[in-house]
Structure 1
Amino acid sequence: MSEEKPSIRVVLDGVFFQLANTGIARYWRSVLAHWDPKEAGCEIFFLNRGGQIPQNCQIKLIDFEPFRYESSGEDALKCEVLCKELKADLFLSTYYTTPTETPSITIFYDMIPERMGLNLKQRPWREKRLSILHADNVLTISKSSQEDLKYYYPDHATHSTYIAYSGVEENFYPVEKEKILSFRQKYKLEKLYLLVVGTRMTGKGYKNTELIFKAMHQWKDANRYQIVCAGGLPQLETRLKRYLPDKNVLVKSFSDEELTAAYAGAHCCVYPSRYEGFGQPIVEAMKCGCPVITCFNSSLKEIGKDAVLYINPDSIIDLREKILELEEPVTRSRCIQRGFKEATSFTWENTAIQVKKAILSAVRNQTKNNPVQWHRFRTLQAELQRQSIDDESLSAFEETWLAEQKSNRNFTETEEAQLLQRFKPSLWGQAKTKSVRYLKKRAKAILRKSA
């Protein structure tokens, strides 16, 4: 009788389910649904911080307090306590949380903050960097993201990295003509339509959806087309309304079944983004037999390969030409057939296999440097956060500490005390930070109430 394999105990922090219910939550929900932890020799303890958590998965739920960025140091210390209680071999977070001494894997999805010039001193992006520093292994969702890690964090890119591409659900497929006809009739889609999927407008405009509406504006062939926006805000943004009359645009949040019909019946899916960590709509479209127009950048060229048509992200003429090109039967058929072929690579089973490989590798080849110092770092960070330190001062403290660690030098107790005193906020600073946080919370509450 063979001995039962020892189980690897993994704490999976479901923090992202608390923060949002977007594509990242769907990623983990799908991975867990297609992964048998026992077969992989793993036991998964899922930290339930709230939100729409995964159902019917072979995981053990542990209720855990909600995450707050302003107390991230304390959170890391509590995660470590739990890891020790569970005798965990590994900590894996869905969104940039860490323990202190337990080995960890971090997964990052894109480099949008770095690429778009966002304020990297803001707490979410600081925690992203700290999670990369703490990690034994790193998971990315594309080769492009893996290369971005090396470019933006060269000092931290010495980890073993694994690519766990996103998968596509089986319910995305080339549906029957009857279902397409029914979908068109339901939404009164009498013309050829361009499908736009997901968020349309972002702070830095990297989604580039405005290009589509500009291309339609005052184009002699525009009256032959409609635009269908799937997902995103429930109303078309004012900035986009000025280009086209409402009758030519449908904005709707579809079920997966209807979205599949929307893909299958579209003239094309237009995805002119300037940067993506993956590009889920491209794969969904290809799997449904929908031609794709996108841009030759980041992960989009990696996912689309030769199955899509590429445009200059600043050229409305280029986009118009590609829209017309897809009316040619040969071009259209070529894109559809190549799309079917490329889409077969992106399955949740393959994603789960790569996650499993990263876990096993991290447990076998731990590269942790001085976990005790990580514990001290988070302890001091927590103390400063309890005193309502502002983000800029906290970032300066972290950089000072990390610079010493990089030179393989540890602070003495006296130096730690001096460091705390140096960055300790004044009473005025504490009051100001608390006021700003209160006003931000009130603003968010008002926005939620009015939505």
Structure 2
Amino acid sequence: MKLLVDGVFFQLASSGIARVWQAVLPALAAIDGLDVLVLDRGGMPTLEGVTRIPFPTYKDLYTADDSELIQRICDFYAIDVFTSTYYTTPLSTPMVLVVYDMIPELFEFDLKHRHWQEKAVAIAYARRHIAISRSTREDLLTCYPTLDQVDVAHPGFNHAVFHPVDEERVAAFRQRVGFDQRPYLVTVGSREQHLNYKNGALLFDTMATFGIDAFDILCIGGEPTIAPEKLAALPPAVKAERIQLSDDDLAAALSGAAGLIYPSLYEGFGLPVLEAMACGCPVVTTARGSLSEVTGNACVIIDGASRSEMAAALGKLMSQSVRNDLRRAGLERAALFDWSALVSTIADAARETAKLGQQADYLAFAETWQSLRRLQAAVDVNTWAPTA
């Protein structure tokens, strides 16, 4: 069986979704009888066992034409089933879709934007859906109650990278980045986002309001700068910086931190929390979205709306015995996660979905779909083509 995967997300970003597929694709390619071909639009890492197909970069303006090009690849390589790392679609090849979250739908994003319209298109076109958490499945079915089958499979993490790093390596990392004098807290990824659902300001506001100066703050990734007003309000003793790290250095940063602070108001899964626990890093987070599925009882749980509650959580992290307990609990919890569930669920769904390709009802659906999508392509050209 031939599975074509659009590696479009590697072009768009290097965040958690890219990390998921970087692990999943070689594992799928290792399955007997499954040939994995990947459209490389740019930014695709070297992936063992997959066939790389160079492909044009993704643009929002001509998404229906993009589907036409994808279908031509499907036809040329006699593809049995298609999936995408994000929300692209072919015209007639049966599709499995992995759904990560319903953040745009739940947090009042502008759903008229073509980017999110294409997500709706992909959900409508796909014949099987896989959610990466029970929470995401519930939200998906709330928004699309007529979907027939939505499986759930949790992602894993890279066990070879994310584990407790030895003290010598941690000390070298801390000295290199200039965080070797005081205990420090870590934030990972975006601190803001639409309607502030990432809620990263809560840590800064809490330390400013209560004068908490026991920790420095190391922001890893996310927005390129920390808001100047947030920095200015911190107690004078607190050092806060934003840096970009490789995965190996991220593991060292987490291993040496007093805690990961992740007060997100919604997650489709929560990979940064899982990676932190795997490194023995104590975690403060919420139970919102899927986060409780990841953490169990292994973290300090807050609501995410109260500075006083965050202050109390930071107080707990000041205790060495509490940190030790959280490290043990986090390592035990993280050990429950690997990639096997998601890989096998995608492979099983692909096999079942491929069977649709010659069924009369699916062929009728695909014929109508192609007509509508090609009509959209003509409208796109008339709408966006440059004028003289």
TM-score, normalised with respect to structure 1: 0.79
d(CA) in 2 for partners of 1:58, 1:120:
37
| Corresponding letter in the other structure for 2:170 | I
1:33-432 alignment to 2 at 5 Å?
33-37=26-30, 39-49=31-41, 51-155=42-146, 157-186=147-176, 187-220=178-211, 222-244=212-234, 245=236, 248-364=239-355, 368=362, 370-388=365-383
**Superimposed CA distance per residue, residues 70-104 of structure 1 (whole angstroms, 9 cap, x where no aligned partner):** 11112212222221222211011111111121101
Query: Is the Cα contact below 8 Å between 1:141 and 1:166 reproduced in 2?
Result: no
Shift of 1:329: 4.5
Q: 1:25 aligns with which of 11, 18, 27?
A: 18
d(CA) in 2 for partners of 1:382, 1:129:
17
Shift of 1:45: 1.9
d(CA) in 2 for partners of 1:60, 1:181:
41
d(CA) in 2 for partners of 1:234, 1:120:
26
Stretches of structure 2 that go unaligned for 5 or more consecutive residues are none
Shift of 1:195: 0.9
| Corresponding letter in the other structure for 1:154 | P
Counterpart of 2:383 in 1: which secondary structure? coil
Counterpart of 1:217 in 2: which secondary structure? helix
Query: Is the Cα contact below 8 Å between 2:170 and 2:256 reproduced in 1?
Result: yes
Shift of 1:129: 0.7
Counterpart of 2:196 in 1: which secondary structure? coil
Moved more, 305-314 or 354-363: 354-363
Change in Cα spacing, 1:57 to 1:123, as seen in structure 2 (3 Å) is same
| Corresponding letter in the other structure for 2:149 | H
Counterpart of 2:329 in 1: which secondary structure? helix
Shift of 1:289: 0.7
| Corresponding letter in the other structure for 1:256 | D
Counterpart of 1:15 in structure 2 is 8
Aligned length: 382
d(CA) in 1 for partners of 2:110, 2:351:
35
Change in Cα spacing, 1:172 to 1:142, as seen in structure 2 (3 Å) is same
Change in Cα spacing, 1:21 to 1:180, as seen in structure 2 (3 Å) is closer
Query: Is the Cα contact below 8 Å between 2:131 and 2:150 reproduced in 1?
Result: no
d(CA) in 1 for partners of 2:251, 2:313:
23
d(CA) in 2 for partners of 1:384, 1:190:
61
Query: Is the Cα contact below 8 Å between 1:167 and 1:351 reproduced in 2?
Result: no
Query: Is the Cα contact below 8 Å between 2:94 and 2:356 reproduced in 1?
Result: no
Query: Is the Cα contact below 8 Å between 1:15 and 1:93 reproduced in 2?
Result: yes
d(CA) in 1 for partners of 2:73, 2:93:
10
Stretches of structure 1 that go unaligned for 5 or more consecutive residues are 1-7, 390-429, 436-451
| Corresponding letter in the other structure for 1:384 | V
| Corresponding letter in the other structure for 2:365 | N
| Corresponding letter in the other structure for 1:235 | T
RMSD of Structure 2 on Structure 1 (CA): 2.2
Query: Is the Cα contact below 8 Å between 1:142 and 1:164 reproduced in 2?
Result: yes
Moved more, 226-235 or 85-94: 226-235
Q: Which has the larger radius of gyration?
A: 1
Shift of 1:345: 2.4
4+ long deviations beyond 6 Å:
none
Query: Is the Cα contact below 8 Å between 2:213 and 2:238 reproduced in 1?
Result: no
Shift of 1:251: 1.8
**Superimposed CA distance per residue, residues 219-241 of structure 1 (whole angstroms, 9 cap, x where no aligned partner):** 24x22211111112343223422
Counterpart of 1:196 in 2: which secondary structure? strand
d(CA) in 1 for partners of 2:330, 2:214:
25
TM-score, normalised with respect to structure 2: 0.91
